[in-house]
Amino acid sequence: MRTLIKNARVIDPASGHDAPGDLWLEDGKVLEITPAGARAAQKNDAVIDAAGAVVAPGLVDLHVHLREPGEEYKETIASGTRAAAAGGVTSVACMPNTHPPIDNLATVEMVLSKAKQQGVVNVYPIACITKGRKGEELAEMGELQAAGVKAVSDDGEPVASPMLMRSALQYAGMLDLLVINHAEEKSLTGNGVAHAGFMAAKLGLSGVPRSGLEIMIARDLLLAEETGCRLHIPHVSTAGAVRMIREAKARGVKVTAETAPHYLALTDECLATYDTNVRVNPPVPEASDQAALIAGLQDGTLDAIATDHAPHSRREKEMEFALAAPGISGLETSLSLVLTTLVATGKMSLLEALRRMTANPAAILKIPKGTLAPGADADVVIFNPEAERVIQAKEFVSQSNNTPFDQWQVKGRVLATLVAGQVVFFDPAFEGKIRKV
Ligand code: DOR
Ligand code: ZN
């Protein structure tokens, strides 16, 4: 079975390709990119007319909470992967802070088998660093890796003990397994619910100081440097963190880092409404931090943009700010927020922005994704980067619509998403462009 996606602007950050052309897929793999109209479709080929649209590798999101097992009222593997597809995301790495946590072989296998049966995008389960995410004893990393795990994290909770974190890096390092440590020093962050700045003080919200996050990042960078092991820092939100990661990279420390679209789109000014959808961990800091994050993305200090998609039900958000669960349902807004905040503003080219959502996260996870190279899996997003749209939280495919971006006017509309050559999402208005010859 062959598919032609024609008349597109084809962008493949992995090879630096950005030109008008046609993308050919065959039997679930990328066949080739040809100049527009170079070859005509044959009988039985499927043809997608992508005139005016960008065709790129499907997005790879290395930080997603799918909530299954245990919190299926927030999200399931079925609903979360459909939300991913709607957002142009074709591969997700899902965090293990489920109930039970993903810290053993049986749970990994359960997630993988559900993903195979009910998921519409590729799912890479991240397993726990420590048993039960308790920070006491390392999980069986070798066994977890043999089951297909690419990374370990106790996300939501830091590995508090420096000694245990050092061992985790060493064990994982021997296996070439990625360690992602939630960077938070609880004695400093305490019961803080917002960035400790002018806004939190004015509104009477307890604060999270930047040092509460940065002390843990500093510690982990020291441990990664000393052990020579690979470390990934999730949801980087502050200027100081960007500076330390930049310096560590310059010294050759094997560190990679991600930030999230909400830190690019919001500052702590947004706390003024007390909208609990703004409550996220780490909290949204100030404009000076946002500028540093953008500079970090521009110079490669920050490798990836990942959503930290954290669905929560209305029950957990409709309450006073300090009691609401932290997190933002992000899969269906990430591409638009990146296009609006980075690309439309001229801060980053479309190719470079997409690199941080495709080839870079795939390289961090060491998965063969995020490229349109011939022979690669035919995971593709087709989107209009210029389309203006108003975000409608109530229309989210995700089971949860906890977003601070409802009613925001943004750029970018996903027209279709393909996984292994199969259409897993299409915008109803785009349906007529998909046909058989
Ligand atoms: O805002 C957050 N929500 N940050 C985390 O680290 C965990 C996540 C969740 O699981 O809801
Ligand atoms: Zn997370």
Q: Which domains does the chain have, with CATH numbers?
A: 2-55+378-385+410-436 (2.30.40.10), 58-365 (3.20.20.140)
Q: What does the block give as tokens for 52?
A: 């005016």
**Nearest CA residue ID for atom 6, ligand 1:** 156
Taking the centre of ligand 1 as the mean of its atom positions, its distance from the CA of residue 328, in whole angstroms, is 8
| pTM of the predicted protein model | 0.98
Question: What average pLDDT does range 72-100 have in this prediction?
Answer: 98
Whether ligand 1 lies within 6 angstroms of the CB of 280 is answered as: yes
Q: Which of 128, 308, 312 to mutate to test the pocket of ligand 1 (most atoms within 8 A of CB)?
A: 308
**pLDDT confidence of residue 432:** 79
**Nearest CA residue ID for atom 5, ligand 1:** 156
Which of 306, 310, 397, 297 is closest to 358 using CA atoms?
Answer: 306
Q: Using one digit for the tens of pLDDT, what is the confidence trace for 26-37?
A: 999 999 999 999
Asked if 308 is an active-site residue, the reply is yes
Catalytic position from the list 12, 103, 308, 379: 308
**pLDDT confidence of residue 437:** 63
Taking the centre of ligand 2 as the mean of its atom positions, its distance from the CA of residue 264, in whole angstroms, is 17
Whether ligand 1 lies within 6 angstroms of the CB of 313 is answered as: no
Q: At what angle do helices 77-86 and 105-118 cross, to 10 degrees?
A: 50
Report the chain's mean pLDDT, rounded to a whole number: 97
Q: What is the number of the ligand 1 atom nearest to the C-alpha of 182?
A: 6
Q: What is the number of the ligand 1 atom nearest to the C-alpha of 156?
A: 6
Taking the centre of ligand 1 as the mean of its atom positions, its distance from the CA of residue 36, in whole angstroms, is 44
Q: What is the number of the ligand 1 atom nearest to the C-alpha of 155?
A: 6
Q: Are 194 and 208 in contact (CB under 8 A)?
A: yes
Whether ligand 1 lies within 6 angstroms of the CB of 281 is answered as: yes
Q: Using one digit for the tens of pLDDT, what is the confidence trace for 204-224?
A: 999 999 999 999 999 999 999
Q: Using one digit for the tens of pLDDT, what is the confidence trace for 284-341?
A: 999 999 999 999 999 999 999 999 999 999 999 999 999 999 999 999 999 999 999 9
Question: What average pLDDT does range 131-154 have in this prediction?
Answer: 98
Percent of the chain with pLDDT over 90: 98
Taking the centre of ligand 1 as the mean of its atom positions, its distance from the CA of residue 310, in whole angstroms, is 6
